[in-house]
A and B are shown apart, each in its own frame.
Chain A
């Protein structure tokens, strides 16, 4: 079997040329009509309570990933060597037993101030919009081409402001 990269690239291009067929209008009307049943849709005040723990959880996940990446990278440095990784870039290598090892790089492309809101404890928080580029490489069995995945990821990060 020919495992040249362009073999699968051409298939991917073909697959991406086609989009899923839209549902028939009758079904779309049916879906639109069930919206009034959604009485449980929370009002914006309640949504804050739901959204902020989610954002905080994501923030914690990012912080953990960054910390893990930095620790891994730091441990891989020869003793006494000066770090040379560009700012805003985190590279991790995940290699856990039977799974295909994965090399992951996250690049912080930009941060934008979205304004100030309040969290569930009514504290003022500044919402920061961060744009990352995640570049993951999945290393398959020896002799096989690695599978690469790059995509833009956007995060909204709440930063708690101190009251004085």
Chain B
């Protein structure tokens, strides 16, 4: 087999794994689930795209696989649900910005899920409103409205660092 697809895969992972993982973490109950969902979604998207896939396809696949996993979770006992709290931070930060990064993570975590999804896909997923709408199965206008609402809520939560 040629080495070319492997190196392109590696390069694609290096460029994008962080933002895909952030979204996967938000769609699942813990880091292990997030990693499993992400791995499966990346492979599926890569194969469906015949190589480097569109970001919107990857996010939509992560979301679908996370929903499937959630359903399977619901059917069995949730034994490890509270046992393994997330240890990994969501955002990269310099030392002097660490406190702000933690505040931001907390603020994003406490957003209603529908707002969290939109803000994550738009800001860190780098999707257009059209792509956000397609990924989440909502109208574009709704995506834009949720984005604005999320910003307003985040502004309240982050007011200590916005002054």
The answer to whether B151 touches A11, judged by C-beta atoms less than 8 angstroms apart, is: yes
The answer to whether A14 touches B47, judged by C-beta atoms less than 8 angstroms apart, is: no
In the complex, which residues of chain B have a beta carbon less than 8 angstroms from the beta carbon of A85?
none
Residue on A with the closest CB to B161? A14
Interface of A is mostly: mixed
The answer to whether B6 touches A35, judged by C-beta atoms less than 8 angstroms apart, is: yes
B141 at interface, CB cutoff 8 A: yes
In the complex, which residues of chain B have a beta carbon less than 8 angstroms from the beta carbon of A41?
5, 46-47, 50-51
Once A21-B89, A21-B92, A31-B17 are accepted as A-B contacts, the answer to whether A15 and B47 lie under 8 Å apart by CB is no
The answer to whether B51 touches A8, judged by C-beta atoms less than 8 angstroms apart, is: no
**A residues contacting the other copy or chain, number (CB 8 A):** 48
A32 at interface, CB cutoff 8 A: yes
List 16 A-B residue pairs with CB atoms under 8 Å apart, sorted by A's residue number: A10-B162, A11-B162, A14-B100, A15-B154, A18-B91, A18-B104, A21-B90, A28-B13, A28-B14, A31-B13, A31-B42, A41-B46, A50-B50, A136-B128, A147-B129, A151-B128
Residues of A within 8 A of B (CB): 1, 7-8, 10-12, 14-24, 27-28, 30-32, 34-42, 46-47, 50-51, 99-102, 134, 136, 138, 140, 144-145, 147, 149, 151
